A and B are shown apart, each in its own frame.
Chain A
């Protein structure tokens, strides 16, 4: 295959992958807090968060462990090996669509937040366009650059996040978290469905793991990242519910920002959601550029194009269009995240294909057909 010959030597370290996965996971989940806003978990959102964390670690291990069976191949390449050319291509196109769709949705949400609170008269296309433009630039310069940007942004995002959390502590009241398990387990589970569904994002690992310097450690790296992101989610949901009370926080679209907005330290320190929004924006940049990288890289492999770079700009343009025209407004967008719509959608396009790939792998491995193919470069 032509693609393999010219595969770039660009490498990211495992630390950078950890940062990237953490940022991808943390930004959207923390900003929209789906454990609280999508189901009926209410004050028990923190229990939902724990379940979400465990489930997302399981998902991430399932995806990265499969990739590790073919350490030099991307998910696009090994799905062709496992399922044959046609089956592999169909499945890959599903994955690529997911990358495109999730990142376009992320872009749209962020543009809406900006339009709502900061740039009220700026058209959405400008904000979405700038976000995608800078991401496209990063993708054009290669995955190494994205990794390095994650290195720089990780401390910034963490410190802004901590600042938002600490600022909200002044409103915190433990009574808001009671009663525990008021409605039984069902509402708690309903809160976990969407965030677990969002962990379909981790499919991007299938394209990132081949670029790692130490791919053999990929499973632990990604599991640690998912664990850290889960911790951040738990802390956030506890703080938000504790600070705002369940009714107010469930009705908010961006609960964390609402919390920090309600905080007033002195007359001079108000509107503390700005750092939170900035952290989200920085995280979104990593998020979008990773997906744009995975999307264009994956598409180049599906199409058999040697270099993914010519695909970046067309993809970016489709991205902007998609993020603007998929949804009429923010509420339509949020309807997508309802457990009953979102989970079936990502299951069909994302989770079930992964299970099929695992099944195919187990069958083929046990019959010994994969011998020699796995280490194929």
Chain B
């Protein structure tokens, strides 16, 4: 027993001594502390942060070995360049860097050797000469610390270290890995662009730039997560987005301190206004056209590397029910579809609860014949209707979740099993009544019309609350629930902007794009964001009129009119 104890004690003391020595000696022999295997990650990072490049190449390479470990994907090549045969190391990370580009880089360095003799005194000159030369072919910048150099390497760049220089040259050699641009799976449209965002943030920014060519599209990059070092870029149109909004976004992103960012959801968690809100307070999308149109409204978008989901702030409630097609389709159809979606969304929240409420409390509200039918269908079902609806909704949620998780091939099988076996059999066995199955299926269909997935999930959750309210207090309970929802939603803000605008606070001028969408020529003003600028989007009076539209044609028509017998007199 005591032997074990002593061992633990000795080990611990050794560890402490190691740490002390690693910190103490790091001044004399830099990076030596990293040899210690007992250092925890934060201790390692503290040492790494202080390491700067040394003059001697050998020492640099030795430190680098300690810095990044014996990982085989980090490739270090030692070469000699120039007349003076200056020893040089070329470092890159395999597959992140493009090999062909590195070959080109080496080529640039080796051909046309300098005329100047190289000695100790002139090493600085070599560095400058090489830098200028490399600038001709690719981006190059200097790094003075190992951490900076690593930043470059990990982004697919190549570092070049010369003997005798305490600096490294970082040259752009990124290879493009990742999937190709595809149509987003979650937001499909009938009419509209098929391109969606990908996982690579730089590609995503380029995709936005391709559609928004103004130089006033500004990008600011942050690096979040001290382990993942994820790029988080903030995009906005300078002069259109409110400066207060931009600085608020900066402030919130800057205040994030965490070790890892896996998906944009991690950032969202840190920057949203109210963590308890069921509805999303940050808009996320995979579609480039939506992001572009929102940037044009003076909003700010946040692109996180590693995920195709781009966040847009501030958001409001109607954005969740607008599909991109609405804007591309003819106005009457687009508006009709949108109203349909509002109705379907409302139904998907309150329909089951209302059914439960009416059946339980308000028989007198149902016309007699319908009531008779419903009662006949319910005959023999051993459960109260609230339980029946609740269970069926729950089963449906299981099915939907299973459908999402399973591989696509099996997913459809689950749906068939769910629909046929569960629904049909439960009804035959007299466990649920047919109207309940109809209500649940109708609700499910209605909930699929919501174009934003995150919003649909929120609706699912609320539906269960409404079922219980309907079962406890009838229609009064539904009213109560709606009021609570209204109050909570009215209190929500997204980056300081009311979530329910333009419904509450009422902004009549923005109703042109709420339930109805007006024609593009009538949509002359941008949505009214407080602090948003440049309210006028286009000049007024561009509506197509039959006479105006035919101006050009009338002339040709007029030329023919002598020969044309069809002209009416």
A interface list, Cβ under 8 A from B: 13, 15-16, 114, 118-119, 122, 126-127, 130-131, 134, 137-138, 141-142, 144-145, 147-149, 151-153, 267-268, 270-271, 274, 278, 281-282, 285
Given contacts A149-B504, A152-B500, A270-B367, contact A122 B490 (CB under 8 A): no
The answer to whether A152 and B503 touch across the interface, beta carbons within 8 angstroms, is yes
Q: Does B498 contact A (CB under 8 A)?
A: yes
- Asked if A145 and B491 sit within 8 Å, CB to CB, the answer is yes
Find chain B residues with CB under 8 A from A285 CB: 483
A130–B480 CB distance below 8 A:
yes
Please give the distance in Å from B356's CB to the nearest CB on chain A. 14
Any chain A CB within 8 A of the CB of B473?
yes
Contact B505 A282 (CB under 8 A): no
CA of A138 to CA of B361 in the docked complex: distance in angstroms? Answer: 27
Choice from A268, A270, A282 contacting B479 with Cβ under 8 Å: A282
Residues of A within 8 A of B369 (CB): 267
- Contact between B505 and A149 (Cβ–Cβ < 8 Å)? no
Chain A residues within an 8 Å CB radius of B473: 119, 122, 126-127, 130
Q: Find out whether the CB atom of A147 lies under 8 angstroms from the CB atom of B505.
A: yes
Mark interface residues in B13-53 (1 if CB within 8 Å of A CB, else 0): 00000000000000000000000000000000000000000
- A-B contacts besides A148-B490, A149-B483, A278-B479, 14 pairs, CB < 8 Å: A16-B505, A126-B473, A130-B477, A137-B484, A138-B487, A145-B490, A148-B500, A149-B504, A152-B504, A274-B365, A274-B475, A278-B475, A281-B476, A281-B479
Quick one: which of A122, A131, A152 has the most chain B CB within 10 A? A152
What class of interface size applies to chain B in its complex with A?
20 to 34
- Interchain CB contact (< 8 A) of A149 among B362, B475, B477, B490: B490
22 contacts across the A-B interface (CB closer than 8 A): A13-B505, A15-B506, A118-B474, A118-B475, A119-B474, A122-B473, A130-B480, A131-B480, A134-B487, A138-B490, A141-B488, A141-B490, A145-B490, A145-B491, A148-B498, A148-B505, A149-B486, A151-B504, A267-B367, A271-B364, A274-B475, A281-B479
Q: Is the interface of A mostly helix, strand, loop or mixed?
A: helix
Smallest CB gap from B501: residue in A:
A148
Report yes or no: A282 in contact with B483, Cβ–Cβ below 8 A: yes
The answer to whether A271 and B365 have CB atoms under 8 Å apart is yes
A119 near B476 with CB under 8 A, answer: yes
CA distance in complex: A137, B43 (Å): 48
Residues of chain B within 8 A (CB-CB) of A130 are 473, 476-477, 480
A131 and B139 CA atoms in complex are apart in Å by 67
In whole angstroms, how far apart are the Cα atoms of A144 and B505 in the complex?
A: 9
Distance from A319 Cβ to chain B, minimum over Cβ atoms (Å)? 16
**Bound Cα distance from A144 to B362, whole angstroms:** 35
Distance (whole angstroms) from the CB of B493 to the closest CB of chain A: 10
Min CB gap B341→A, angstroms: 18
CA distance A138 to B480 in the complex (A): 12
Whether the pair B476, A118 counts as a contact (CB closer than 8 A) is: yes
A151-B506, A152-B503 as given contacts; A134 in contact with B484, CB under 8 Å: yes
* Complex: A15 Cα to B502 Cα, angstroms: 14
Closest chain B residue to A130, Cβ basis: B480
- For window 486-527 of B, CB contacts with A under 8 Å fall at 486-488, 490-491, 498, 500, 503-506
The distance from the CB of B57 to the nearest CB of chain A, in whole angstroms, is: 62
| Minimum Cβ distance to chain B for residue A346 (Å) | 29
Q: Is the CB of B487 within 8 A of A141?
A: yes
Contact pick for B367, options A137, A151, A268, CB 8 Å: A268
State how many angstroms separate the Cβ of B469 from the closest Cβ of chain A.
9
From A131, which residue of chain B is reached at the shortest CB distance?
Answer: B480
Q: Cα distance A268–B473 when bound, in Å?
A: 24
Give 8 nearest A-B pairs by CB, closest first.
A148-B504, A148-B490, A151-B504, A141-B491, A151-B506, A138-B487, A145-B490, A152-B504
A267 to B367, CA, bound (A): 7
A137 and B487 contact, CB distance less than 8 A: yes
- Determine the chain A residues whose CB is within 8 A of the CB of B474 once the complex forms: 118-119
